[in-house]
Amino acid sequence: MTALLNASHNQKVRGQDREWRGKRFIFVSLTVTTVSIIFFFALKTIFPTIKAGGAELRDFARRAMIQGGGQVEQIEVEISSSSDAHSRFFETLKSEIQMKMESYKGQPFWTVGLKGIQAELVEKGWVHSARVRRSFPQTLAIQVTPRKPLFWVKMQKGWALVDETGYVMSLQPSVEGWLADLPVVVGMRGVYRGVAHLDDINRKSSVEREALLDLAALIREVESRLMVKVDSVRVESDPWFEGNMFTLHWVEARSEKSNRAERDIAATFLERQWSERMDSLQYVLSDLKKQEFEKVRIFGAYGDRWIVEPQKEK
């Protein structure tokens, strides 16, 4: 009797299990069919032009890439600099880069060569470094760190524009425009004799570049410490010293009690031997400022003492 009850119970359980599996199969089938139908009609609604032909599929892929950022449509240029001293120069440089980069509009967004753009920007001499990145969906973002022009160097023919690291940024036939207020350096025209290209100048004149680097540091130090603007520099080689002599000229504002508003100052410094003597020079110029001298010629320093020749007003 017990065996018959167990057999009946097992048959009932197996029947319920088959019934549940059948219902689950029907449910899954209906779900898959419903999703397939929805997906099919969605594709036909959103992309009605898709057909089985290969040409239509290729055309669809091309248009999808364009609509999804496949081509460069916008160029954004940012000038990265912490100085406002050359804001006009930076704005001009930004405009020139923006115009130059217009040629990249319409090129494939994902395959345009970023390294090539960076190299193209840096090779012109006005840019110290450049970073180019893609900004989805259709923009090239360009961040530029510019070189900062500091002075002009007279060449055998024309002028060289030099930055604060001694790097020659540009070659020009004359000093014109708003950059004309930068200091002019004479006495080094033999440095670039017969050299006409920026790459050749910066590669072949390593010794001269070290001198220009030291001169750039000297000009910045004099202008910041003495609150003056250097007008010109004469460079001369010293037969007793393995290096150059820099004679800086600037105009100093006079005190309110003075009859003259300005005074001419010319001071000579030895290359790489001036930094430790700047404090004593400040004291000398401070004493001279109280006196009525039209011109002051500073021939250099012997130890901590500066050799000074003041010229009184006539």
Strands 168-172 and 184-186: unpaired
| Per-residue pLDDT at 2 exceeds 50 | no
pLDDT of residue 19: 61
How does pLDDT run across 190-212, given as a tens digit for each residue?
A: 555 555 577 777 776 677 778 88
Summarize the confidence of residues 243-248 as an average pLDDT. Answer: 90
pLDDT band per the 50, 70, 90 thresholds, residue 109: confident
User: Which of 145-159, 190-204, 250-264 is predicted least confidently?
Assistant: 190-204
| Per-residue pLDDT at 151 exceeds 90 | yes
User: Which of 64-68, 147-151, 153-157 is predicted least confidently?
Assistant: 64-68
pLDDT of residue 296: 87
Percent of the chain with pLDDT over 70: 69
Distance CA(154)–CA(217), nearest Å, equals: 19
User: According to the 3-state scheme, what is the secondary structure of 14-46?
Assistant: HHHHHHHHHHHHHHHHHHHHHHHHHHHHHHHHH
pLDDT band per the 50, 70, 90 thresholds, residue 6: very low
Summarize the confidence of residues 103-132 as an average pLDDT. Answer: 89
Whole-model pTM: value is: 0.68
How does pLDDT run across 41-62, given as a tens digit for each residue?
A: 555 555 555 444 556 655 655 5
| Per-residue pLDDT at 132 exceeds 90 | yes
pLDDT of residue 216: 92
pLDDT of residue 246: 93
Summarize the confidence of residues 15-40 as an average pLDDT. Answer: 60
| Per-residue pLDDT at 112 exceeds 60 | yes
